[in-house]
Amino acid sequence: MALGNLSGKARTNPTAPDAFGVCDNCGTWWNRRDLLDQVEYYGNTLKRTGYVVCPECFDVPQDQLRPIILPIPDPVPVINPRTEYFDGDRGQQGFTLYVLQFPPVDPTTPNGKALVLSQVAQLSDVATPNGLSDESGRLAQANLSQQVAAANPNRSFFLLYNPASAPLVVGLGAPASFAGSSGILLGPGNALFWATAQQRGPIFTGSIAVIGYAASAPFYAWEQ
C-alpha cells in the first residue's frame, strides 16, 4: 500500500538539506525558513506573540488594537471661570433658587450675612425689608431634621442660604429627609428665596426644616 505524503508542504532537496517545521496554527509541515513569526500590536509597537505560523495562517496585525489618537486635544480649561448667576425655579415648590458667587468674599466672614442679603436683593429686585427675624444657626446633629422657621400665616419674606461645603435638604411643612422627592436640595453657595414682593403667587406659610450630613454645619435664614 502506498503511503501518503507526510511532509505536508515541506520540500526535500537531497543536495541542500533544509529543516522542516510545523505551523503552530494548522499543524502542517513546512520548511522552517518559510514559517513566519506571528506579530501583534502592543500599543503602537509590533511584538512577537510567540507563535510561528505558515504564510497561509499568518494574520495581518489588527490596527484596532492600537491606542486611539484623538485628532484634536481637549481644550485647556479656563482658570478662575466667571459663570453667570443662576435664577430659576426648577421644581423648588415656588421658591426661587439663586447660586451666589463667593469668591471674592467668603460668606462665612463676619460680614457674610450682609453680603448674602445684598446679593439676593440685587438678583431678585426685592429690597431687603427692615425688621427681619434672623433665624440663622447650626445643625445640632448630623442626619437629623431641624426646624428653621415655625409655621407663620403672616410670612411675607423668607431667605435660606447654605454657607457650608456640603449640601442641605429643605423640608416644607414636614421634617426634612434625605429620602423621597418632597425635599429641596440646597447646595453649597445656594440661596432659597420667596417673598410676596416677587408677585409669583402666595408665599409658603408652613414650617421649614433642614437636614445635613455634618453636625455644626451653619445655615443662614431670615423671615418676616
pLDDT, tens only, 18-63: 899 999 999 999 999 999 999 999 988 999 999 999 999 999 999 8
Non-local (6+) Cβ contacts of 25 within 8 A are 51, 53, 54, 57
pLDDT band for position 156 (cuts 50, 70, 90): very high
122 within 8 A of 85, measured Cβ to Cβ: no
91 pLDDT higher than 60: no
pLDDT band for position 94 (cuts 50, 70, 90): confident
pLDDT band for position 68 (cuts 50, 70, 90): confident
203 within 8 A of 156, measured Cβ to Cβ: yes
d(CA 194, CA 58) in angstroms, rounded, equals: 74
The Cα angle at residue 87 between residues 83 and 204, in degrees rounded to 5: 150
What does the domain layout of the chain look like in residue ranges? 20-65, 86-223
What residue type is assigned to position 23 of the chain?
C
Of residues 18 and 101, the one with the higher pLDDT is 18
Cell numbers describing residue 129 = 425689608
> What is the average pLDDT value for the chain, to the nearest integer?
85
Query: What is the three-class DSSP state of 133?
Result: strand
216 within 8 A of 138, measured Cβ to Cβ: yes
183 pLDDT higher than 50: yes
pLDDT band for position 4 (cuts 50, 70, 90): very low
Q: What is the pLDDT of residue 21?
A: 93
129 sits in the region (left: phi over 0; alpha: psi -120 to 50; else beta) called beta
Please, which residues bridge with residue 138 across strands? 218
Domain 86-223 sits in CATH at: 2.60.120.770
Q: What is the pLDDT of residue 14?
A: 85
219 within 8 A of 139, measured Cβ to Cβ: yes
Least confidently predicted of 75-79, 82-86, 212-216 = 82-86
